[in-house]
Amino acid sequence: MRSSISEQRKTLLEDSRTSPPARSDFGVSGMPERAAHAEDRAHAGALVSSLVSLLREGSIMRLVISSAFARIALVAAAAVVVPCLLQAGEVAPASGYSLLSPIRSGNLTVFPVVASKSYDTAEFLTLDEGLRSGDVVVTEAGQARGLIRHRPGDPSTVHPIRDAEVNRLVLVNNSKRPLLLLAGEIVTGGKQDRVIGKDRIVPAESDPVDLSVFCVEPGRWVPANGKYEFGSAGGVAGGLVAAPVVRSKAMAAKDQQQVWDSVRSSQRAMAESVEVTGAAPAVNATTSYARVMDNKEVQKQVDAVAEPVQRNYESVIRQLRDKNAVGVVVAVNGEIIWADIFASTQLLQKYWPKLARSYATEAVVTRAKGGETSSKDAQKFLDNLQGRHETADTEPGIYRQTEITGDGFKVFELTSLLPKTGFRVHVAKMAD
């Protein structure tokens, strides 16, 4: 009996060594792959049955063949694995985000978003911080400085590269920190005010980089006060982010005429909202989106909606500092229109004041009666971040910007590729 068992064990071990490895390239339509998998399963099943018989016949052999049994069991398991792949357009089981109770102000509703995980974003510099400190320089393309790093001995002269262009600016980051730019941020000055067209990261101490921008001040093409450089938007505290109706045309449509059309429609709506105060002529007198938003009466209208939302959310952030409050889902007139999500609470706090005003501006210029949005609908909007088409723009070692198109929405994801990162810094989702 022992001799017979030894011979069987030897045969089994030889079989396990010579058995073909489990396949990792699963076929989806061809019969040869299916037949091969059936043959593997049958072969593995016979080996396992023989092992069971051996165990029944002699317990002394259990330890001897345990290693072979484990190896063959893995082969059997691998042979019957069937991959489960999401088809394009299917919704992922969970987004990793959840919602808190909504905050409402007039026709504006925001749902605070909390994340299961937060990341260290302390190194990122915002555009407002960089412009205030002077570490970040934004100028017309025709006036780009060759090197603006303030190194000892470097000349501080202007080096024209090419003529100024409506849809292109040049930026230099002289800071020792990477710079984060968000689509929708507005810079004023130069030959006309511009809105940044896409999220991106600019590395520390960068050479001049081209910025994709759109004009939000049709009609002017002369340097403001004789200067070609840009700053944060006018007197608006904390800078300015365009309302979603303008921001979406820059990000998704990428069309200058559509951006101009949205600026004009916002201007007309703002003029109507302040008509009773007598401020309408001043609002209509300018073509600058930033100057419209800087009008005192317009600011009062926006503040009336924005301040309760901003104040209440800041209270939520303080109370839930350890719960990773990282963003919002936004609804206007009962319809969900937008979501902004960041990698950390710290990063959200930097952008929150001007984001709140951006959403409030949308509410002011689109006043209408509408029902309330449910938390269930907001969560559904937040969870569905998968689409049927995806494109990516990558600067190796710095960032990847991904645009995802789904049914009735677009998602824009900015992922940092800098050392010790590899996480999504910002996600914006808009309803089409």
Tell me which of 119 and 77 has the higher pLDDT: 119
Are 61 and 117 members of one domain? no
Cα end-to-end distance, the chain, whole Å: 76
Q: What was the pLDDT predicted at 60?
A: 34
- In the DSSP assignment, the letter for residue 229 is B
End position of a domain, from candidates 45, 80, 115: 80
Are 203 and 298 members of one domain? yes
Contacts of 309 (CB under 8 A, 6+ apart): 103, 105, 108, 110, 356, 359, 360
Tokens 């960041």 locate to 342
Q: What was the pLDDT predicted at 83?
A: 31
Are 23 and 110 members of one domain? no
Indicate the SS3 state at residue 329: strand
Nearest to 429 by CA among 43, 113, 61, 139: 113
Q: What was the pLDDT predicted at 153?
A: 54
- In the DSSP assignment, the letter for residue 275 is G
Are 46 and 112 members of one domain? no
- In the DSSP assignment, the letter for residue 374 is P
- Is residue 27's pLDDT more than 90? no
Cβ-count burial of 26 within 10 angstroms (0-12 exposed, 13-18 middle, 19+ buried)? exposed
**8 Å CB contact between 32 and 39:** no
**Domain range for residue 68?**
2-80
- Is residue 200's pLDDT more than 60? yes
Tell me which of 89 and 222 has the higher pLDDT: 222
Are 24 and 107 members of one domain? no
Q: What was the pLDDT predicted at 14?
A: 47
Whether 360 is in a domain gets the answer yes
Are 239 and 316 members of one domain? yes
Are 68 and 119 members of one domain? no
Q: What was the pLDDT predicted at 30?
A: 35
Whether 164 is in a domain gets the answer yes
Across the chain, mean pLDDT equals: 79
* Least reliable range by pLDDT among 129-138, 175-184, 218-227, 261-270: 218-227
Are 14 and 126 members of one domain? no
Are 243 and 296 members of one domain? yes
Query: What is the pTM (predicted TM-score) of this model?
Result: 0.75
What whole-number distance in Å separates Cα of residue 122 and Cα of residue 11? 62
* Least reliable range by pLDDT among 52-61, 107-116, 209-218: 52-61
Whether 85 is in a domain gets the answer no
Whether 89 is in a domain gets the answer no
Whether 42 is in a domain gets the answer yes
What whole-number distance in Å separates Cα of residue 215 and Cα of residue 287? 11
Whether 168 is in a domain gets the answer yes
End position of a domain, from candidates 36, 55, 80: 80
What is the DSSP track for 137-203?
EEEEGGG--S--S--TT--------S--BTTEEEEEE-SSS-EEE-TTBEEEETTS-EEE-S-EEE-
Q: What was the pLDDT predicted at 318?
A: 83
List the beta bridge partners of residue 196: 213
Whether 278 is in a domain gets the answer yes
What whole-number distance in Å separates Cα of residue 347 and Cα of residue 286? 33
Are 38 and 159 members of one domain? no
Give the angle subtended at the CA of 216 by the CAs of 335 and 401, to the nearest 5°: 65
Q: What was the pLDDT predicted at 152?
A: 52
Are 32 and 122 members of one domain? no
Q: What is the mean pLDDT of residues 305-313?
A: 94
Q: What was the pLDDT predicted at 237?
A: 53
- Is residue 95's pLDDT more than 50? yes
Q: What is the mean pLDDT of residues 42-57?
A: 45
Q: What was the pLDDT predicted at 33?
A: 37
Q: What is the mean pLDDT of residues 406-420?
A: 97
- Is residue 294's pLDDT more than 80? yes
Nearest to 127 by CA among 175, 192, 168, 166: 175
End position of a domain, from candidates 80, 108, 132: 80
Q: What is the mean pLDDT of residues 34-59?
A: 44
Helices 345-365 + 296-319 axis angle, to 10: 140
* Least reliable range by pLDDT among 228-242, 251-265, 334-348: 228-242
Total number of domains constituting the chain: 2
Tell me which of 115 and 277 has the higher pLDDT: 115
Share of the chain above pLDDT 70, in %: 72
Q: What was the pLDDT predicted at 370?
A: 72
Residue 151's pLDDT band, with cuts at 50, 70 and 90, is low
Are 7 and 136 members of one domain? no
Whether 126 is in a domain gets the answer yes
Tell me which of 41 and 341 has the higher pLDDT: 341
Contacts of 131 (CB under 8 A, 6+ apart): 138, 187, 230, 231, 232
Q: What is the mean pLDDT of residues 73-77?
A: 36
Q: What is the mean pLDDT of residues 376-393?
A: 95
Q: What is the mean pLDDT of residues 195-209?
A: 96
Tell me which of 165 and 13 has the higher pLDDT: 165
Q: What is the mean pLDDT of residues 312-322?
A: 83
